[in-house]
Amino acid sequence: MSSRLEQFQAFRKKMNEKILAGGHLGIRRFFNLDTAAYREGALPGKTKELLGLVASAVLRCNDCVDYHIIQCVEAGYSDAELQDALNVSLIVGGSIVIPHLRHAYETIELLRKDQAGQAR
Amino acid sequence: MSSRLEQFQAFRKKMNEKILAGGHLGIRRFFNLDTAAYREGALPGKTKELLGLVASAVLRCNDCVDYHIIQCVEAGYSDAELQDALNVSLIVGGSIVIPHLRHAYETIELLRKDQAGQAR
Amino acid sequence: MSSRLEQFQAFRKKMNEKILAGGHLGIRRFFNLDTAAYREGALPGKTKELLGLVASAVLRCNDCVDYHIIQCVEAGYSDAELQDALNVSLIVGGSIVIPHLRHAYETIELLRKDQAGQAR
Amino acid sequence: MSSRLEQFQAFRKKMNEKILAGGHLGIRRFFNLDTAAYREGALPGKTKELLGLVASAVLRCNDCVDYHIIQCVEAGYSDAELQDALNVSLIVGGSIVIPHLRHAYETIELLRKDQAGQAR
Amino acid sequence: MSSRLEQFQAFRKKMNEKILAGGHLGIRRFFNLDTAAYREGALPGKTKELLGLVASAVLRCNDCVDYHIIQCVEAGYSDAELQDALNVSLIVGGSIVIPHLRHAYETIELLRKDQAGQAR
Amino acid sequence: MSSRLEQFQAFRKKMNEKILAGGHLGIRRFFNLDTAAYREGALPGKTKELLGLVASAVLRCNDCVDYHIIQCVEAGYSDAELQDALNVSLIVGGSIVIPHLRHAYETIELLRKDQAGQAR
């Protein structure tokens, strides 16, 4: 994984552990609910990862976009499918979403390089 | 269709016609792009309607929620599937989404009554 | 209670019941977490109601503002204290908050009339 | 003026007076600063009214949109100019702005009818 | 103070001075109003710092979160109290707040290390 | 141009090219519409650049603020005019806009240094 994504993942892991160790029951329960929201349910987990990506993009949160793109790539979405979802985000959210589109495309590219490296 | 949804649809139709008749080329092209974003593409149109619903819910726009629920119900989503998508919106967007959740549930209920009436 | 607030409360109660009856476990758990967040904890429940009000005002949600003002008035806040909290919301959120300030002041006024009526 | 705009103006006036009478010095000063921001300065007041309209539209506040359209129509903007500014709002803010575009077009129409009535 | 917070404080101080030296009267007055909003009033200044933190967190502004955490730690809030306020932000604002929660926890940790260093 | 702005411009150019090369027709058309929105129309292009700046500031997007300040400086706006527009953003959007104000002032300063260097 690229150094940008590795740093994001490492910081995310370290701080999530500290938050959960912090002992606030409400926060711990929220984290559990958050994880559960993307599990198989009436909708497939794979579909819900895409919902998470679009929600993150229109709310303009790069860390959330990165997290959900990682999940979406793992779930098997193609570049064309991710772009089609990001197009919905762009239409709904407008040009203010474009900087996050640039970030998202770079993240997808970094993950594909990583996949290509592992396949060699 | 219920009187609340009928009023929304009538106002939406009337004003969209006026906006398009207003003659601003950029606005007309945006409306075309908006329609095109939900057509079959790399992702099925049905999936993209759900993306539109979740984006509308986290951005907290009741009119947009109504529009996309109407599309989603036409596309054949079940109540359980719509609730599962709205749960993602609730988790991502927080309790500030709850008033729009109430609105969305009422809209779904109104549309189901309408479907039941037509089926009789 | 005034007719505007009564209608809000009635719709809120009716739809919350339908949402909870809808059977989505994630949504039900979120509602529980939401309620729990304002209970006595490291911070007094009374302080957290004020936090809820300011969060609702800067996020510009009238229904949420109404809900938290009702809670804050029940918790015993004076008009001057509520105005001081709303001033923080106004400074942080800017003039776009003003329509919600108007709504909030009307809600406070309606609740005070109601209290005066009960005291007679 | 149309009944919808008259109600908005009357409620706005009544509640602004109550807010200012409420005696919070910070709030009163904010209202003064808000008024001052649209006065002649390095930029003409007329230009700043348009800035206020676009800011209101992308932040999706109908009351603020109405207020600034009233100011813009008084300042002498044509329909084509207002539409051109609203197009910028639509591009920057995305389709989530469309319900506010419908509202804005109706408000412009109501104000033009009012102007035509006064000119008769 | 940690290097991240020192950089933030230095940039904040330098640019605020330039903004105030820039000579726009409206901006200068806004800065004064902003400072005044957190002074003792109908509500204690300490309570209003917490309101500022929650408003910053739900509006998802890391710089604002840092500023208000610094103020809150100076005002004497414990970690458990800050976490309880951040939990309200998380519930109101949803999972999109989580990256700012991670940032906030790190900032609290950096400030506590600093306090521990000074106490030695 | 300063190293911060050069990096922004280089990343923006590189990723925009990749996005456009990515082949999603909707996204490509959106980018065209976005460019067209700031061309001469019923309103002068110069006025619309200022609308874009204010929209970017109240929506709190540093990359968008940078892009529009670059355009505004090229279009010939003075510092006092840009500050007057940013003051409208600050009043409408509140203190949460302040970190973006600091960023904007620094960007203006960097561009003026660049202009001074070219004039030598």
Considering only CB atoms, which residues of chain B are within 8 Å of chain D?
11-12, 15-16, 18-19, 22-24, 26-27, 30, 34, 55-56, 59, 61, 63-64
Q: Which residues of chain A neighbour D95 with C-beta distances below 8 Å?
A: 91-92, 94
Contact (CB<8Å) A33/C29: yes
Give Cα F36 distance to the centre of its chain: 15
Residue C67 and residue C100 in contact, taking contact as beta carbons nearer than 8 Å? no
Least CB–CB distance from A105: residue in F19, F34, F63:
F19
Tens-digit pLDDT profile for residues F61-116? 999 999 999 999 999 999 999 999 999 999 999 999 999 999 999 999 999 999 99
Best to test chain F binding among B32, B33, B51 (most F CBs inside 10 Å): B33
Which of A82, A92, A102 has the most F C-beta neighbours within 10 Å, making it the best mutation to test the interface with F? A102
Q: Which residues on chain F are in Cβ contact (under 8 Å) with E22?
A: 79, 83, 105
B34 contacts in D (CB within 8 Å)? 95, 98
Q: Are D84 and D107 in contact (CB under 8 A)?
A: no
Res E2 pLDDT > 80: no
Residues of C with CB under 8 A from a CB of F: 58, 90-97
The Cα of D38 is separated from the nearest Cα of chain B by a number of Å equal to 27
Which of F12, F16, F27 lies at the smallest CB-CB distance from A90? F27
Locate E1 and state its tokens. Answer: 């103070």
Q: Distance from F41 to chain B by nearest Cα, in Å?
A: 10
Q: Which residues of F touch C (CB under 8 A)?
A: 58, 90-97
Give C2→chain B minimum CA distance, Å. 20
Please give the residue that has the higher pLDDT: either B87 or A118.
B87
E28 class by beta-carbon count within 10 Å (0-12 exposed, 13-18 middle, 19+ buried): middle
The answer to whether residues D28 and D20 touch, using CB atoms and an 8 Å cutoff, is yes
Look-up: residue for tokens 């917490």?
E50
| For helices A3-21 and E98-119, angle between their N-to-C axes, nearest 10 degrees | 70
Contact C29 A26 (CB under 8 A): no
Residues of chain C with pLDDT under 50: none
E2 torsion bin: left (phi>0), alpha (psi -120 to 50), beta (else): beta
pLDDT tens digits along D6-19: 999 999 999 999 99
Q: Cβ(A74)–Cβ(A107) under 8 Å?
A: no
Round to whole Å and give the CA distance between A101 and A90: 8
What is the value of pTM for the model shown? 0.97
Residue of D nearest to E43 (CA): D24
Contact flag B95-E92 (C-beta cutoff 8 Å): yes
Neighbours of chain E (3+ CB pairs under 8 A): A, B, C, D, F
The label of the residue with tokens 């300040």 reads F69
Mean pLDDT of A20-26: 95
Residues 6+ apart with CB under 8 A from C77: C46, C49, C50, C85
Is residue E51 within 8 A of residue E85, CB to CB? The reply is no
Return the higher-pLDDT residue of A46 and A1. A46
Structure confidence at residue D119 as a pLDDT band (50, 70, 90): confident
Cβ neighbours, 10 Å, residue D117 = 9
CB hemisphere CA count around F41 (13 angstroms): 25
Query: Among all residues of chain B, which has the CA nearest to that of E93?
Result: B94
Query: What's at B39, amino acid-wise?
Result: R
Q: Which of D79, D86, D102 sits opposite B12 (nearest CB)?
A: D102
Helix residue spans in D1-120 (DSSP H) = 3-21, 25-36, 45-58, 62-74, 79-93, 98-119
Chain D residues whose beta carbon lies within 8 Å of the beta carbon of residue A92: 94-96
Short-list B83, D43, A81, E71, CA closest to F80: D43
- The verdict on a CB contact (< 8 Å) between F36 and B26 is yes
Q: Report residue A1's pLDDT band, with 50, 70 and 90 as the boundaries.
A: low
pLDDT digits (tens, 9 = 90+) for E57-89: 999 999 999 999 999 999 999 999 999 999 999
Grade residue E1 by pLDDT with cuts at 50, 70 and 90: low
B34, B58, B91: residue with CB nearest A91? B34
What is the ipTM for the molecules in this complex?
A: 0.96
Q: What digits encode the pLDDT tens for the residues D30-65? A: 999 999 999 999 999 999 999 999 999 999 999 999
Residue C90 and residue D27: Cβ atoms within 8 Å? yes
Please say whether the beta carbons of F56 and F64 come within 8 A.
yes
The closest of A10, A90, A17 to A57, measured between CA atoms, is A90
Report the candidate in F10, F118, F5 with the shortest Cα–Cα distance to residue F66: F5
Q: How many helices (H) and strands (E) does chain E have?
A: 6, 0
- Phi and psi at residue B22, in whole multiples of 5°? -65, -20
Beta carbons of F38 and F45 less than 8 angstroms apart: yes
User: If you average pLDDT over residues B28-33, what whole number do you get?
Assistant: 98
pLDDT for position D4? 94
- Asked if F33 lies within 8 A of B37 by C-beta distance, the reply is no
Cβ count near B81 (within 10 Å): 17
Report the pLDDT value the prediction gives residue E119, as an integer from 0 to 100.
79
Distance CA E92, CA E70 (A): 22
Of F12, F15, F27, the CB nearest to A83: F27
The 3-state DSSP class for residue A91 equals helix
Question: What's the rounded Cα separation, in Å, for the pair B99 and C99?
Answer: 18
> Over 80: is that where the pLDDT of B2 sits?
no
3 state DSSP class of C54: helix
Q: Which of E28, D46, C2, A79 is nearest to F22 (CA)?
A: A79
Q: Residue F98's closest chain C neighbor by CA?
A: C92
Buried b vs exposed e over F28-47: b needs ≥16 C-beta within 10 Å? ebbbebbeebbeebbbeeeb
Q: Which chain A residue lies closest to C38 (C-alpha atoms)?
A: A26
E97-114 pLDDT per residue, tens: 999 999 999 999 999 999
